[in-house]
Structure formats: structure tokens, C-alpha cells
Amino acid sequence: MSGLHASELGASGAIFLGQIVVLLLTARLLGELLCRFGQPPVMGQLLAGVILGPSILGHIAPAAELALFPHAPAQRAMLDAVAQLGVLLLLLLTGMETREPASSGPSSSFHRAIARSAAGFSGPFAIVLARREHRSGRLRTPLNILVPVSGTAVSRRGAELAVALAQGSRGSVTALHIAGRAASRRSLRERLGLRFGRHDEIDDEPSSNPITNEIVQLARAYSVNVRSAVRSHREAETAILREIGAGRHDLVVMGVSQRPGDTLNFGEVASVLLERAECSLVFLAAEPAAKPELPANPK
């Protein structure tokens, strides 16, 4: 914008102010309208952007759309900057409007407003559920993060986010891998443990586990305090819940895959954690929901 003359800069600023006024008025009117039909105002605000964009206004009246939203790079740069700020504010307001009362108990399903918002994102998104001391919005102590890992790209994304959060809060990360059971490979000590009551969980040696070692190396590269744990258990969700209590973790970060269907669902483990975990949760969906396979047409 430094190459613009004073007259061009003034005209560009006037158009920018006109864009903001039109966007705010349209978003406000549609938000109020949808509220009367029992819908959240954010749906009307999103609809305003669609109506004023090339999809509707640009198709019906292209000259009006071009006059209101010129294609000049400097003009677009100003509007893009405000748009990025608007996205951040939208996510903030969505979280504030869907905050559950403190008296309500945890549920195995997401709030419908969260499900609607997630359905509108075609790319990666994260859902954060603040619990216990985090509900106040203040972070008084470094985060003690537990991140379940399985060696997949999805769990790797969750681990990367966990490391970033731990670095930002000067906290720590525990990489937890739930190993499968192979009865033929159990040692004598493990079989005796099973015989005398330790039938539900076995601690394996974390230093020899390549899945947790990868996360340990990642965390150490960013100078984050990290430890690893490997558990063998019939139910992964039970092992995670036990590790939360044993390690006194205040946050679980989990990479998840969205299941196909009409409801927002990340699988059984995520549902159990959503219902039973007492600490805060972050579910990172780094991949779009898989489409259900259509049955083959009989020949």
C-alpha cells in the first residue's frame, strides 16, 4: 500500500469502510432473522458472507459485486486481514455460546452448536472442552498433557499440537501408547501377574517402543519436558482414564478421525473420554470425515 497516491489511498479507505458497513449490517439482520427461527445468530452471519460473495451477488449482479468488492490487490489485502480476525472472533464466540453450565454433567456427545460449527469446516479443526480449573479461563500452572499415540498420521498431528501447547505453557507431555496383547509373547513375570490379579493392565518398557520414541524426540527437539508410557489393556479408553489419574494430567490432547454419519462422532474412545474424563480435552480432527462406502450395484 506504500506505492499508492494520497487520493488512491483515500478512495481505497472509503471503499473499505463501505465494505465493513455493508457486511456488518447484512450479518446483523440475517443473524436476528435466524434467531427468530430458533437458529444461532452465527448461522445468519455466515449466510451473509455467502450472499454478498460471488456465489449469489456476483452471479445476480456482477457489476454491483465488483463495485463493492474490487479486485485490486491492496483492497483485497485490507479485507483479508479483517476476515482473518473475524474467523478468530467467530471461534471465540462459538466457544463462549456453547459453554455448558457448571452444574451439568459430562455427556458422551457434543453440544449441537459445536456439531453444527464442525460440520461447516471442510479442513482440520480442533474442539476444546475446558474442565475443572480451566473453566475459569485462567492458566495458573504449566500444562501437564497426556497425548495417546498409535503411530498413525492422525495421532502424530495430536502429538505435535500437544508439544506446541506444552512449549507455550512451559508444561510437560506424556506420550501414551496402548499396545495390543499377544498371549504367546508374554513373559513369565507377565503371566504370573495375570494369574495373581493383574489381569487388566501390563506395563511395557517404553524405551524400546518406536511409537513413543518418535514423540519423545519431537518434544526434546523443542526443549519440552517429556516422558513416555506404554500400557497393554483390553480397552484403550480405560487405560487412558487410569493414566490421567495416575499422572494427574490436566489436559488430554488426542488426534481423532471423524466418523461418517449425521452426528459428530470421533469413535468409542473419544466418546468415553468425553463422558468420563475429569480433565480438559482437545480433539484434533486433522482429516475430513470419511465418506461411507456405497453398496455395489448388482449386475
Domain boundary among 45, 69, 97: 97
Give the neighbor-by-neighbor strand order of the sheet with 280-285: 125-129, 280-285, 251-256, 144-149, 172-179, 225-233, 201-203
| Same domain? 136 vs 91 | no
The CATH number covering residue 235 comes to 3.40.50.620
Segment 140-172, tens digit of pLDDT: 689 999 999 999 999 999 999 999 999 988 999
Residues 152 and 257 placed together within one structural domain of the fold: yes
Specify whether 279 is located in the same domain as 148.
yes
Whole-model pTM above 0.75? Answer: no
- Looking at the structure of the chain, the number of domains it has is 2
Question: What's the CA gap between 98 and 104, in Å, rounded?
Answer: 13
**Is residue 217 scored above 80 in pLDDT?**
yes
- Do 237 and 140 reside in the same domain of the chain? yes
Residues 90 and 177 in one domain: no
Do 236 and 185 have their domain in common? yes
Q: Does residue 1 belong to any structural domain of this protein?
A: no
Cα 217 → chain centroid: 24
Q: What is the pLDDT of residue 50?
A: 87
Q: How many CA atoms lie within 13 A of 49 on its CB side?
A: 9
Q: Which of 97, 131, 164 lies at the terminal end of a domain, its last residue?
A: 97
Range(s) of the domain holding residue 138 = 112-285
**Co-location of 157 and 31 in the same domain:** no
Q: Do 153 and 234 share a domain, yes or no?
A: yes
Q: Are residues 135 and 256 in the same domain?
A: yes
Does residue 102 form part of some domain? no
Question: Do 88 and 174 have their domain in common?
Answer: no
- Reply yes or no on whether the pLDDT at 253 is more than 90: yes
Q: Is the pLDDT of residue 234 over 70?
A: yes
The pLDDT assigned to 290 comes to 56
User: What are the pLDDT digits (tens) for 31-76?
Assistant: 888 888 877 777 888 888 889 888 888 888 888 888 888 887 777 7
Q: Is residue 81 part of a domain?
A: yes
Query: Is 32 part of any domain?
Result: yes
175 pLDDT more than 90? yes
Domain check: are 217 and 119 in the same one?
yes
Give the chain as a DSSP string: -TTS-HHHHHHHHHHHHHHHHHHHHHHHHHHHHHHTTT--HHHHHHHHHHHHSTTTHHHH-HHHHHHHS---HHHHHHHHHHHHHHHHHHHHHHHHHTPPPTTSPP-SS--HHHHHHHHT-SS-EEEEE--GGGGGS---S--EEEEEE-SSHHHHHHHHHHHHHHHHHT-EEEEEEEEPP-GGG--HHHHHHHHTT--SEEE--GGG-HHHHHHHHHHHHTT-EEEEEEEEES-HHHHHHHHHHHHT-SEEEEEE-PPSSSS----HHHHHHHHH--SEEEEEE-SPPPPPPPPPPP-
